[in-house]
Structure 1
Amino acid sequence: MSEAIETVKPPKGHFYLAGRLFPRVKWWKRRNMRVLYFYVLILILTNTANGFDNSMMNGLQSLSYWQDYFHHPKGPTLGLFNCVMSVGAIAGLLIMPYMLDNFGRRPCLVFGCFFMLLGVALQSGSINFSMFVGARFLLGFGDIIVICTAPLLITELAPAQDRAILVTLSGATYHSGAFIAAWTTYGTLKIKSEWSWRAPSLIQALFTLVMLAVVWWIPESPRYYVSKDQPEKALQVLAYYHAEGNESDELVQLEFTEITTAIAMEKNAEHSGSYLDFLRTPGNRKRLFIIITMGLFAQWSGNGLVSYYLNLIMNSIGITDPNRQLLINGALTSFNLATNLFFSFFVDKWGRRPIMLISSAGMLVGFVVWTILSAKYDQRESSALGQGVLAMIFIYYLFYNLKSGLISSYTTEILPYSMRAKGYTIMEYAMYIPLFFNQYVNPIALENIHWRYYIFYCCFLAVEVVVIWFLYVETRYMPLEEITKIFDGDDIATATNLKMEKIAETGKGVSTAIHIEETSV
C-alpha cells in the first residue's frame, strides 16, 4: 500500500499555505479576483471544444446524411475517421512542452486556437473522405495544445484556496461540450440536407473563438516569469489578482516566496529540463509511473467504447432507431455533465486517493455486470436485457465521472514547475496512444467479437484498482510547491521552508526573495 502522508484538514473557512493558516477570501467581493475567475472560467471552457468533438462524432454516425455522404463507413474506415484526430494530437505533443517552457502559456493557447479554427473550417466544408480526415488531423493538433496548456495555466494562476477545485472543473467541462454536441446533433436530425452534419461542426468553432477573443487579456503564469528571471512581473501578477494590487500582502509574499524558492531549489537540484529527469531520482520515477498510468486509466477503462461508438453498442442491444439513439446520447451527456460538475467540488473534502479507488472499483463492478448482460442478450434477444445494459452504462459512468476531473488536477499538482509541461505531455501521450487504439480497433473488435471484447476492459479495471491502492498518494490540503516532499523527502522541503522563514522574517518583499533565489542557485 502507498505510504501514508498526513494531510491536515484546515478549519472551516480557512486553508493552509507554507504551514500557515489563512482565512478564505470571498473572491466575489474583490474586483480583480472576479476578473481572474472570469479568465479561469474561459480557460476551463477550453475542454468544452474537445468534448463537443467527441460527442459530435457519436451523433454524426446516427445521421443518415452523414452516413450517405461518406458511403456508410464501418470497421477500419470508421476507425480512421475518429483515430486520425489522435494522430494529430500526438503530433502536437511533440512540440508542446518546448513551446510552453520557452514561449509561455498564452502564446501556446493562441497557436492551438488557430489550428483548431482551420480544422473546423475544413471539416465543415469537406467534400470527400480525404478532406474530412485531414481536417480532423488539424483539429487534433490544435486541440491538444489548447487542452494541455489551459490546466497548467489555471494551476499556476489560481489562488491556493480554490486551485484544486478549479483545475478539476477544467477536466469536468469535457462533458459540457459533449452535452451541447449531443443535443445539437439531435436537433440537426430534422435538417433534411448535408447541413445536418455540417452545422454541428461549424458550431464547434464558437468555443475556440471565445477563447481567442479573451486570451490576450489573460495574465501569463507567475511561475513562467520566475523561471525566465522576471520575478518582478510574477509578483505584480500575484499582487494584482490575489490581493487587489497590494505587493506587501502577507499571503502574496508567501505565495511569491514559495514559487521563487521552489524554482530555485529545482535549479539547485540540477534539473536539466530534460525528459531524462524523470529517471534520475526515486521520486521522479514514481511521478513518471503515476502520470503514465493516469493516462492509460483515462482511456482504457472502457469509456472509449461509449465516447465514440455508442451507436454500435446501441445496435448490439436492439436499439437501432436514430432518433432514440440520439436521445440516449443526449441523456447520457446530460447525466455526465451534472455528475462531473457535482463531484468536482468534493476533491478536497473526499481526497484524491479515496475518490480514485471508489471510482475504479465501481467501474469494475458496473462493467462486469454490463458484460454479463450483453452475453445473455447475445444468447436470447430480450428487450429487458437490452435495457439492463443501458442502465449499467449509466451506472458505469456515474463512477467514471467521480474521478475524471482529477486527471488534470492530480497530474499537474504532483509535478514541480521544471517538469510540469513535459510531465503533462507524457501523461497525454499515455492517454492518446491508447485513445488511438480505441478509436481504430474498437469498431473492428465490436463488429467481430461483440461482447467478448468487454472482457479486456474488465481485466484492465481490476489492474487499475490494484495500482491505485498500492502506489497512488494523497495530496489534498497541500499547497502546490509543498507537494514535493511526498516524492522527494523532507530534505528539499526543509530547505525550502527555512528559506521562506528567512524571507518572512525580513519582510523586505521582492528584493529579498530575488536575492535568496540567486544565492541558492
Structure 2
Amino acid sequence: MAQNIKPVKPPKGHFFLAGRTFPRVQWWKRPNMRLLYFYIAVLIATNTANGFDNSMMNGLQTLSYWQDYFNHPQGPTLGLFNCVMSVGALTGLVILPFMLDRLGRKPCLVFGSMFMLLGVALQSGSINFSMFVAARYILGFGDIIVICTAPMLITEIAPAQDRAILVTIAGATYHAGAFIAAWTTYGTLKIQSEWSWRAPSLIQGLFTILMLAVVWWIPESPRYYISKDQPEKGLQILAYYHAEGNEADEVVQLEFTEITTAIAMEKNSEHSSSYVDFLRTPGNRKRLLIIASFGLFAQWSGNGLVSYYLNLIMDSIGITDANQQLLINGALTSFNLVTNVFFSFFVDNWGRRPIMIVSSAGMLVSFVIWTALSAKYDAHASSSLGSGVLGMIFIYYLFYNLKSGLIASYTTEILPYSMRAKGYTIMEFAMYIALFFNQYVNPIALDNIHWRYYIFYCCFLALEVVVIWFFYVETRYVPLEEITKLFDGDDVAAATNVEMEKALESGKGFTTAVHIEGAD
C-alpha cells in the first residue's frame, strides 16, 4: 500500500539522499558546479518566452495600431487570435513524449526552438489575419516542446540538494517574461506606427536565441543515457558536474545507483512503458488524477481571465484609458514576478501540499469577493468598487503565485523516469485544453454575461480545494528516485533498496545496478 509519510526535515545545511544525510555543497566554490548552474539558469529562462507571449497579447489588445490593423477583433475572432496557440501546443504534445524518450532532452529543445523562431518571424511580419493566426499556431507548437522539455532536463541534471527549488523557479520565470512583455508594450505605446506591435513580437525571440546559443554545451540527462544502456556516460555527467569529476564520490555513487536501480526495476516490469500504465496500479491511477487535475487547476482557477483579457476586465470596471491599462498590466506582472520567485525558495520549508491548500483556499475567497464587487459595480458603477475589484485581482494573484511554480516541480518529481515524459505530457494536455477554453470562450462569455461568468470559476476553485485536500501527496525532503514509495508502497521501495544494497556492496557501482536479472 502507498503511504502518507510525515516528512522529516534534514539538519540545517544538509540534505537527504538514499536514507542518509549529507552536508550541502557550496556550489559557487566549484567550477563545474558553477557551470552546471549557469546551464540550468539558461533552461530556467526558457519559460520566459511563454510568459512573454501571454502578457504581450494582453498588451497588444490595448494598442490602437494593432486594433486598427486587424479591424478591432472581438468575441470569437479575438478568441481565435489567442486560442490558436493552444491548438499548436496540443499538436506538439502528440509527438513530444515519443521524441523525449527516443531522442533525448537536448534534441527536443533544439527542435522546438526552431519552430518558435519561425513563429516569431511570421508573427512579426504578419500582413493579415490568416498569417498572424498561422504564426501563432507554429509558435505554440514549438513553445510546448521547449517548455515541457526544459523542466524535465533541469530535474534530471540538478544536484539533489537544490532540485526542488531550481525546478520551481523554472515555473516561476513565466512571470519574468510577462514582466518584460508588459513594460515592452507600455514602451512601444509611444511608437506611432505598426512597429508598436511588431517590435514586441521580435523581442519575444531573444529568449529562444539565447537558449539555442547555449544548448549545445548543456549536458544530456544522465537518466536518458542510463535508460539507453549507456551507463558510463550517465556516470561521467553526474561525476563531472556534481563532484568535479570524482566518480568515486559517495553522493555521486548513491545518485547513480538510485537511478540505475530505479530504471532497471522499471525495465523488469511485465509491460513496456505506455499511457495504459497510468491505469494499471492504484499508485499510477493516483498519479494520473494528480497530474491531470493539476493541469486543469493551472488554467481554470480564474487566472485565464487576466492572463489574456485584462483589458476587458478593466473596461468592465471603468478603466478604459490605454496608458492606464498598460500601467496596471505592468504593475501586476511586476508583482507576480517578485512574489513567484520569493515563494520558490520556500517549497521545501513549507511543503507542497500545505502550499497548494492555502493557495487554492485563498484564491477561492478572493475570487468570491472579486465577483461580489463586480456585481455591485455593475449595479452602481462606483469608482471605489472598481478600485476594490482591482485590489482583489492583486490579492488573488498573491495566492495564485504561492503555488504556480510547483506546476513543473511537483509534476516531474511524482513521476518515475519511464513515465515522466508521458505523464508531463498528460499534465500539459490538460492545461492546454483548459487554456484553449479560456482563450476562446472567455471573451465571448465576458461580452455576453459579464461578471456572472466569474461564478463558474468560484465553483471550480471550491472543487480544487477538495481534490487537493483528499488526494495530493506531500513529497518534500524525499529524493527523486525514492518518491515512488509514497505512491506504490513499501514493497516496491523495499525491492529497490535491496537492489541498491547489492550494487553498493558489490563495489561495482553501475555495472551491478544495470544488469539486474531480467532487466535486459
**TM tier, smaller:** over 0.9
Instruction: Work out whether 1:439 is the aligned partner of 2:433.
Output: no
Instruction: Work out whether 1:289 is the aligned partner of 2:302.
Output: no
Give 1:121 deviation, angstroms: 0.2
Identify the residue that residue 459 of structure 1 maps to in structure 2. 459
8 Å contact kept, 2:15–2:22? yes
Instruction: Work out whether 1:469 is the aligned partner of 2:473.
Output: no
**Separation in 2, partners of 1:126, 1:502:** 62
8 Å contact kept, 2:502–2:512? no
Give 1:495 deviation, angstroms: 1.0
Instruction: Work out whether 1:480 is the aligned partner of 2:466.
Output: no
Identify the residue that residue 495 of structure 1 maps to in structure 2. 495
Q: Deviations over 1:474-499 (max 9, x none)?
A: 00000000000111111111011112
Secondary structure class of the residue paired with 1:204 = helix
- Aligned positions of 1:59-98 closer than 5 A: 59-98=59-98
**Separation in 2, partners of 1:514, 1:226:** 8
8 Å contact kept, 1:86–1:137? yes
8 Å contact kept, 2:336–2:398? yes
Q: Deviations over 1:152-201 (max 9, x none)?
A: 00000000000000000110000000000000000000000000000000
Give 1:466 deviation, angstroms: 0.4
Gap change, CA 1:241 and 1:518, over 3 Å in 2: farther
Give 1:503 deviation, angstroms: 2.2
8 Å contact kept, 1:264–1:518? no
**Separation in 1, partners of 2:315, 2:195:** 25
**Separation in 2, partners of 1:270, 1:84:** 40
**1:65 alignment partner AA:** Y
Instruction: Work out whether 1:155 is the aligned partner of 2:152.
Output: no
8 Å contact kept, 1:271–1:418? no
Identify the residue that residue 341 of structure 1 maps to in structure 2. 341
Give 1:520 deviation, angstroms: 5.1
Secondary structure class of the residue paired with 1:21 = strand
8 Å contact kept, 2:3–2:487? no
Give 1:501 deviation, angstroms: 1.7
8 Å contact kept, 1:10–1:21? yes
- Aligned positions of 1:48-127 closer than 5 A: 48-127=48-127
Structure 2 residues not aligned, in runs of 5+: none
**1:69 alignment partner AA:** Y
- Aligned positions of 1:358-507 closer than 5 A: 358-507=358-507
Identify the residue that residue 233 of structure 2 maps to in structure 1. 233
Secondary structure class of the residue paired with 1:15 = strand
**2:375 alignment partner AA:** A
**1:390 alignment partner AA:** L
Identify the residue that residue 245 of structure 2 maps to in structure 1. 245
Instruction: Work out whether 1:181 is the aligned partner of 2:181.
Output: yes
Identify the residue that residue 273 of structure 2 maps to in structure 1. 273
Instruction: Calculate the TM-score normalised by the size of structure 1.
Output: 0.99
Give 1:509 deviation, angstroms: 2.9
The 10-residue stretch of structure 1 (240-249 or 497-506) with the greater mean CA deviation from structure 2: 497-506
**Separation in 1, partners of 2:347, 2:430:** 23
**1:339 alignment partner AA:** T
8 Å contact kept, 1:45–1:207? yes
Secondary structure class of the residue paired with 1:22 = strand
Q: Deviations over 1:259-287 (max 9, x none)?
A: 00000111112341110010111110110
**Separation in 1, partners of 2:24, 2:496:** 24
8 Å contact kept, 2:114–2:142? yes
**Separation in 2, partners of 1:214, 1:456:** 44
**Separation in 2, partners of 1:154, 1:271:** 28
Identify the residue that residue 45 of structure 1 maps to in structure 2. 45
**2:79 alignment partner AA:** G
**Separation in 1, partners of 2:502, 2:161:** 24
The 10-residue stretch of structure 1 (263-272 or 206-215) with the greater mean CA deviation from structure 2: 263-272
Identify the residue that residue 200 of structure 2 maps to in structure 1. 200
**1:146 alignment partner AA:** V
Secondary structure class of the residue paired with 1:73 = coil
Secondary structure class of the residue paired with 2:112 = helix
8 Å contact kept, 1:76–1:440? yes
8 Å contact kept, 2:264–2:513? no
Secondary structure class of the residue paired with 2:415 = coil
8 Å contact kept, 1:235–1:247? yes
8 Å contact kept, 2:499–2:513? no
**Separation in 2, partners of 1:484, 1:265:** 12
**Separation in 2, partners of 1:62, 1:189:** 9
8 Å contact kept, 1:363–1:400? yes
Secondary structure class of the residue paired with 1:364 = helix
Q: Deviations over 1:295-340 (max 9, x none)?
A: 0000000000000000000000000000000000000000000000
Identify the residue that residue 142 of structure 1 maps to in structure 2. 142
8 Å contact kept, 1:36–1:241? yes
**1:281 alignment partner AA:** T
**Separation in 1, partners of 2:270, 2:479:** 23
8 Å contact kept, 1:248–1:509? no
**Separation in 1, partners of 2:146, 2:98:** 14
Identify the residue that residue 21 of structure 1 maps to in structure 2. 21
Q: Deviations over 1:391-437 (max 9, x none)?
A: 00000000000000000000000000000000000000100001001
**Separation in 2, partners of 1:382, 1:492:** 61
8 Å contact kept, 2:17–2:254? yes
Identify the residue that residue 304 of structure 2 maps to in structure 1. 304
**2:163 alignment partner AA:** R
**Separation in 1, partners of 2:6, 2:498:** 20
Gap change, CA 1:45 and 1:271, over 3 Å in 2: farther
Identify the residue that residue 212 of structure 2 maps to in structure 1. 212
Instruction: Calculate the TM-score normalised by the size of structure 2.
Output: 0.99
**Separation in 1, partners of 2:247, 2:125:** 52
Secondary structure class of the residue paired with 2:21 = strand
